[in-house]
Amino acid sequence: MSELKTVDAHLEDILTAVGPLAEIDVHLLEAHGCVLAEDIRAPGPLPGFENSAMDGYAVIRADLETASADQPVRLPVVGDIAAGASSPPAVSPGLCVRIMTGAPVPHGADAVVPVEHTDGGIATVAITRTPEPGAHIRRVGEDVAAGDVVLTAGRHLGAAQLGLVAAVGRSRVVARPRPRVVVVSTGSELVEPGTLTRPGQIWDSNSVLLTLAAREAGALAFRVGIVPDDPRQLLDILEDQLIRADVVVTSGGVSVGAYDVVKEVLSRLGTVRFDRVGMQPGMPQGFGTIGPDATPIFALPGNPVSAFVSFEVFVRPALRAMLGVSPLHRPLVRAVTRDPLHSPLGKRQYARAWLENRDGVTEVRLVGGSGSHLIGSLATANALIVTPAETTSVPAGSEVDVLVLERRSA
Ligand code: AMP
Ligand code: MG
């Protein structure tokens, strides 16, 4: 048997082959989760015009010098200004105008009195306080000045960032698109969840898991579903799917079984190589590029836990690199293991675990068994304990490296 390739060497080969996708001009709603590829400047100031911060009355402050709760000042109300009003009536001395939040402040007014400091009158209003100069008036440009860069290239576009882009009047941005990931499960034993199995058949869980893991990593993922262990059908699917894929992820068929067609078919395509990587689970790994656009393809092992760990260790960082976001990797923390660990020599082990903070101590314990078909325990893990290739046993109570899958209670 040949030497095992290290996890780091395999990851390096992958990250050398993938890079950020070419930037495109997209609508704001499609840019969600993408990385901005231009600086966004405000074409004008925000607020763009003086407007009221309160529902109340636009007044001339000098008219209200003597206003108090005991001796309110009464002013005739000469108009109403709603938000969206384009030509508000001006205010002259001794008069006022009722005004709504966001409505333009009329010419002549130098303060807004909130309705709470009045009797709320419509024809005339009794005002019980003297406002500060400029009270409750939002000034032009107090938020953003014309020409300000409100977001710089490289920013991750979440809800707040895209809301800001909309607020400065833009409907589109130049961003790096999400990688389109096509997920294919291979195996003649697989059937669609929700249908009946015959003896020897199982439900395809990998394509669901990998599609959603790719989405969680920020990609646009398509679940193509099941392809039987038949070289022709696999080739046909790949050819069809390459049209829309930035990345292809397959599972199954990469070990040394007689019907491991993924290995058989892909070894002949593009730059794909199959390696025995020094990790557990997930030793057999295929990676390379295929098709006219040199599309990266990951051929992951079929056992669900192997597929999942392979995704975490290799595919997720690659997708993040394509998105142009950092960090590429999940957080790695140190924690005290409550269970002793046993790990094969020469393989970096990723063990499903539960990480939590107890009385100020970050601790971790194994969940479920070590078999890579044990998807039941995968669903209860929030972390993976990483044991180095050269370590074979770790006593309980030792500090270990832990890859954090979710932040829930860690
Ligand atoms: P393979 O890598 O094709 O040899 O598959 C290894 C193991 O994983 C076998 O027990 C398969 O039945 C199982 N397996 C392969 N693909 C899937 C899948 N999509 N969903 C669930 N189990 C699978
Ligand atoms: Mg198989």
Question: Is the distance from the beta carbon of residue 202 to the nearest atom of ligand 1 less than 6 Å?
Answer: yes
Per-residue pLDDT for 410 more than 80?
A: no
Q: Residue 410 domain-assigned?
A: no
CATH, residue 285: 3.40.980.10
Q: Taking 80 as the threshold, does the pLDDT of residue 192 lie above it?
A: yes
Q: What is the pLDDT of residues 48-78, one digit of tens each?
A: 999 999 999 999 999 999 999 999 999 999 9
The pLDDT of residue 259: 81
**pLDDT reading at 408 higher than 60:** no
2 domain residue, yes or no: no
Instruction: Please report the pLDDT score of residue 407 as a whole number.
Output: 56
pLDDT tops 60 at residue 173: yes
End-of-domain residue from the set 128, 156, 176:
176
pLDDT band for 345, please (50, 70, 90 cuts).
very high
Query: How do residues 22-37 score in pLDDT, each as one tens digit?
Result: 999 999 999 999 999 9
- Domain coverage including residue 81: 51-138
Residues 212 and 354 in one domain: no
Supply the CATH number for residue 105's domain. 2.170.190.11
- In ligand 1, the atom with minimum distance to the C-alpha of 205 is 20
Statement to judge: residues 155 and 271 lie in one domain = no
- Shared-domain flag, residues 298 and 225: yes
- Looking at the predicted structure, is the pLDDT value of residue 1 above 70? no
Q: Could you tell me the distance, in angstroms and rounded to a whole number, from the CA of residue 262 to the centre of ligand 1? A: 12
What is the mean predicted confidence (pLDDT) over 7-36? Answer: 96
User: Would the pLDDT of 409 be above 70?
Assistant: no
Last residue of a domain, one of 293, 323, 353: 323
- Number of domains observed in the structure of the chain: 4
Q: Please determine, for residue 169, whether its predicted confidence score (pLDDT) is greater than 90.
A: yes
CATH of the domain at 149: 3.90.105.10
Q: Is 301 in the pocket of ligand 1 (CB under 6 A)?
A: yes
The tokens for 97 are: 């105008």
Whether residues 148 and 269 fall in one domain: no
Same-domain status, 57 and 125: yes
- Helical spans, DSSP H, in 186-242: 206-216, 231-242
> Does residue 319 sit in the same domain as residue 346?
no
3-state DSSP percent of the chain in helix, strand and coil, to 5: 20, 30, 45
Instruction: Report which protein residue has its CA nearest ligand 1's atom 17.
Output: 302
pLDDT tens per residue, range 244-279: 999 999 999 998 888 889 998 998 999 999 999 999
> What residues are neighbours of ligand 2 (ion), with CB under 5 Å?
187, 252-253, 302
Average pLDDT, stretch 349-372? 93
AA identity, residue 201: Q
Ligand 1: atom nearest CA of 186 is 16
Instruction: Specify the CATH number for the domain of residue 382.
Output: 2.40.340.10
* Helices and strands of the chain, counted as H and E runs: 8, 28
Number of the ligand 1 atom closest to the C-alpha atom of 303: 8
Instruction: Burial-class residue 279 by CB neighbours within 10 Å (0-12, 13-18, 19+).
Output: buried
Query: Does one domain contain both 297 and 384?
Result: no
β-pairing verdict for 284-290 and 295-300: antiparallel
Q: Which of 192, 251, 263, 375 to mutate to test the pocket of ligand 1 (most atoms within 8 A of CB)?
A: 251
Asked whether the beta carbons of 318 and 14 are under 8 A apart, the reply is: yes
Tally Cβ neighbours within 10 Å of residue 340. 12
* Residue 51 and residue 353 in contact, taking contact as beta carbons nearer than 8 Å: no
Among 144-148, 326-330, 361-365, the range scoring the smallest mean pLDDT is: 326-330
**Pocket flag, ligand 1, residue 193 (CB < 6 Å):** no
Ligand 1 midpoint to CA 54 (Å): 63
Q: How far is the CA of 371 from the centre of ligand 1 (A)?
A: 13
Is 1 within a domain? no
Cβ of 72 below 6 Å from ligand 1? no
Question: How much of the chain exceeds pLDDT 90, in percent?
Answer: 91
Q: Are residues 207 and 159 in the same domain?
A: no
Cα 187 to ligand 1 centre (Å) = 7
| Residue 239 sits in the same domain as residue 377 | no
Helices (H), 313-385: 316-323, 375-378
Residues 353, 311 share a domain = no
pLDDT, average across residues 221-238: 96
Do residue 125 and residue 246 come from a single domain? no
Return the pLDDT at 2. Answer: 66
Report which protein residue has its CA nearest ligand 1's atom 16: 302
**Final residue before a domain boundary, out of 295, 323, 351:** 323
In single-letter form, the type of residue at position 184 comes to: V
> Which ligand has the nearest atom to the CA of 257?
1
- Whether residue 81 sits in one domain with residue 16: no
pLDDT over 70 percentage in the chain: 99
Give domain status of residue 409, yes or no: no
Predicted pLDDT at 368? 84
Quick one: average pLDDT of 110-119?
98
In a domain, 187, yes or no: yes
Q: Whose CA is nearest to atom 12 of ligand 1?
A: 189
Q: Where are the beta strands (DSSP E) in 214-344?
A: 220-227, 247-251, 273-276, 279-280, 284-290, 295-300, 332-337, 341-342
